[in-house]
Amino acid sequence: PLGLCRDRQSTPPAVVFADAMRDAVLDDFDAAHLSPVAAALFSRARASFADIIAPGGFVDKMHKGALDRGVYAQYLAIDRYFLFHFNRAYAVALIKARTVDEQRMFHELIGGVLDEMRLHVSACARWGVDADYYMASHPPEPAAEKYVKFLESLHEGSMEGLIAGMVPCMRLYSALGSGFAKIGLDACGPYREWFDAYASTEINALATQLESLLPVDVEDLTTEIIDNYKRAMELERDFFEAWLSI
């Protein structure tokens, strides 16, 4: 009986490991040398980020090599659709640029997304999916479409508000790649390519570039900037969670 009581009160090893893994990814994000403004914004969206890396979630299943392959292929095709619209938001930001240096930066960021889209098309082909045909023959995934509509709603606002709604995507994927890479990717199987791609220094550099366009001082963060950042991270969470029900 005493042994049974101890078993009921103790935490299963798998849960302990999952919690430690989640904390390690969060710690890596915290240690990413973010600017004070970027760190302040992330602190307001930390709960959504924790949901994204939670045990049993989409990213966790990829990390364990347990995600359904058909679901992953569909995710890649839909993510390419999202990236197309994400790049349209960059084009709007390019129009809003105040200096030549900002124009140059958005030009580089647009190029980065075009490269990412090419990787998605190649990955889809390896998984037996024609990304263009899939998008032409399937309606947009609702969570992705909701995210796209959110970005489009920012086109008419301030450049800082638009950037705040885009930073979470860039910083999130960089953090997921680098954080899980530090934990170890031996169990990922075919999904290792996803983590390797987003763990790259190039992705981190692009995220840092975008963050540099936010206000310099935390005191200058407006309600618009904070709300857009938080909402974008919530939409990232919803996009990942949507694939768990397919």
Phi-psi region of 68 (alpha: psi -120 to 50; beta: other; left: phi over 0): beta
Rounded to a whole number of angstroms, the distance between the first and last alpha carbons of the chain is 43
- pTM recorded for the entire structure: 0.87
Contact yes or no for 234/48 (Cβ under 8 A): yes
Of 168, 183, 172, the closest CA to residue 22 belongs to: 183
246 DSSP 8-state letter: -
Q: State the residue for tokens 């893994």.
A: 21
User: What local confidence, expressed as pLDDT, does residue 239 receive?
Assistant: 97
Contact yes or no for 22/55 (Cβ under 8 A): yes
pLDDT per residue of the chain (246 residues) written in tens, 0 to 9: 333 333 434 444 444 445 666 666 666 555 557 889 999 999 999 999 999 999 999 999 999 999 999 899 999 999 999 999 999 999 999 999 999 999 999 999 999 999 999 988 998 898 888 888 888 888 889 999 999 999 999 999 999 999 999 999 999 999 999 999 988 999 899 999 999 999 999 999 999 999 999 999 999 999 999 999 999 999 999 999 999 986
Q: Which two tokens stand for residue 99?
A: 């200096």
Residue burial 88-106, b: 16+ Cβ < 10 Å; e: rest: bbbebbbebbeeeebeebb
User: What local confidence, expressed as pLDDT, does residue 26 receive?
Assistant: 66
